[in-house]
């Protein structure tokens, strides 16, 4: 399986920073805990790139 991104855990241990790399896209990303989560069916984390949310919503 191909890897399209790499992340490392932040010093706080709650978030991640890294980069998505494909042939046509190279973007920094941050994976942050979903602080607005109020049900088990909601996502645990939210993914942002340059202050825009990406991924499933």
pLDDT band at 14 (very low <50, low <70, confident <90, very high): very high
Query: In the predicted model, is pLDDT for residue 1 greater than 80?
Result: no
For the chain, what is the mean pLDDT?
92
**Using H for helix, E for strand and C for coil, what is the string for the chain?**
CCCCEEEEECCCCCCEEEEEECCCCEEEEEEEECCCCCCCCCCCEEEEECCEEECCC
**Model confidence over 45-57: pLDDT tens digits?**
999 999 899 876 6
pLDDT band at 35 (very low <50, low <70, confident <90, very high): very high
């Amino acid at each position: 399986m191909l890897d399209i991104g790499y992340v490392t855990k932040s010093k706080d241990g709650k978030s991640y920073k890294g980069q998505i790399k494909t042939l046509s896209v190279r973007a920094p990303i941050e994976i942050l805990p979903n602080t607005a989560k109020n049900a088990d069916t909601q996502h645990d984390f939210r993914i942002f790139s340059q202050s825009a949310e990406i991924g499933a919503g």
